[in-house]
Amino acid sequence: MYIQFYFFNWTNEGELENANSKPSFEQKGPYRFNEFHEKVNVTFHDNNTVSFKQVRRWHFDPDNSNGTLDDIITTLNLPPLTAAFVARDWSIFMQGPLSLVISQTSKRHVTKKVREYLFEGYDDSLISLADKLPALANIEIPFDKFGWFYKRNNSDEYDGFFNMDTGADDINKVGRLRNWNFANRTKFFPSSCGMVNGSAGELWPPGQTKTNITMFSPDICRSLTFDFTEEVDVHGVTGYRYSGGRNIVDNGTINADNWCFCNGECLPVGVVNASSCRYGAPAFVSYPHYYMADPYYASLVDGMRPDKEKHQFYVTLEPVRNKTVL
C-alpha cells in the first residue's frame, strides 16, 4: 500500500495585500510513501467483536516520487491562522490581546521543506509561547511543532480505538465497525452525521453488490459512502469500483440529510468543514483541485485544474472475497 502527497506552492504570496490579485498556486509532487498497517492491543470479545488500535508507518519512496523531501514550499502558516479561526467568535476584549500576540510573533505565510510540513514538523513562535501567554489559554495546542503528520509515524494513538464485528456469528457482519473511541458515534458532528458506520476499510462482508459501500475514516472523523460505478480489471483481477460523488462533500445543498455536516458553517457544495475533528483548526475537506465543487471556490484562486481522471476518489474491491485491490 502507498500514499501520495501533493502540495500547492503559493507563488505570489507577496501580493496578499493587493485586492486585485488572486492567490496563485502550482502543484508539487507526488511525494510517495509506502504505507504499512499493524493492529496492536488486539482483544477478542465474547460478543463476536474484536478491539484494536492501529499503527501506521510511512517510508519515503524516492524512486516513485516527483521531487525530494527537501523541496521548498511556500504556504499559509497554520498555527496563527488556527488561533485566529478559533477566536473568531470571542469578544473583542479577548481577541485584542491575541491579535497583538499574532502580529508580533507570527507570519501569515511560511517557506519550509516538504519533510517539515509532513512528518518532522516545524517550530512556530506562537506554539512555543502557548503555555506562557494568557491570550492563548483558551486554545488547545496539543503539539510542540506543526506538521500535517507530525508524531503520527509509528504511533498507535492517532487513529483511535476500534471495535468491529468478527463475523463469527454472521459472516455478513465481518469488518463492520461497532465503535470508535468507545462510542458508536463521534462528538464531532451532530445527528446522523456523527454515526460510526461501515467498514474500517480493510475487511468487507462477502457478496458485495453493485450498489454502494460505506467506510469510516478516522482522519476526518466520519463515515463515507461510495457508489458503484463500474467493473474494472486490476492486474488481471476483476474488481468492483466504488467512487465518491458530490454527496461526500455536500452539507445539505444537494441532499438535505447532510445538513449536519455544516458544523455551524454551511458552505457551497464541494467543501466540508472538518475543523471540529482537528482541534478547531480551519480544516476544510474537498476533492483535489476542487473537483466536483461549486465553481465559486476555484474562482477565488489561480492554479486549480480539476480533472476526473486524476482527481476522482474511489475504492476497488475484489467481488468474491471482497478484498481491497486498489
Name the DSSP class of 245: -
Strand partners, 155: 56
User: Phi and psi of 267, rounded to 5°?
Assistant: -110, 160
User: Phi and psi of 45, rounded to 5°?
Assistant: -115, 160
- pLDDT band (50, 70, 90) for residue 74: very high
pTM summary value: 0.89
Does the pLDDT value for residue 38 go beyond 90? yes
Per cent of the chain over pLDDT 70 is: 95
What does each C-alpha distance from 193 to 67, 190, 252, 263, 302 come to in angstroms?
Answer: 38, 6, 11, 10, 33
User: Phi and psi of 242, rounded to 5°?
Assistant: -115, 125
143 against 64, higher pLDDT: 64
- pLDDT band (50, 70, 90) for residue 97: confident
The three three-digit cell numbers of residue 83, written as one number: 488561533
270 against 203, higher pLDDT: 270
What DSSP letter does each residue of 258-322 carry, written as one string?
Answer: GGGGSTT----TT-EE-GGGTTT---EE--GGGTTS-HHHHHTSB-----HHHH--EEEE-TTT-
The three three-digit cell numbers of residue 107, written as one number: 507570519
- Each residue's pLDDT tens digit, 115-142: 999 999 999 888 877 766 666 666 677 7
How far apart are the C-alpha atoms of 6 and 115, rounded to whole Å? Answer: 12
How far apart are the C-alpha atoms of 71 and 31, rounded to whole Å? Answer: 10
Q: How many CB atoms lie within 10 A of CB 225?
A: 15
- pLDDT band (50, 70, 90) for residue 17: confident
How far apart are the C-alpha atoms of 110 and 13, rounded to whole Å? Answer: 10
How far apart are the C-alpha atoms of 8 and 27, rounded to whole Å? Answer: 5
Sheet of 222-234, strand order: 212-217, 222-234, 237-243, 314-317
Among the residue ranges 84-98, 242-256, 278-292, 294-308, the one predicted with the least confidence is 84-98
Element of type H or E holding 36: strand 25-44
How far apart are the C-alpha atoms of 105 and 136, rounded to whole Å? Answer: 13
Q: How many CB atoms lie within 10 A of CB 138?
A: 11
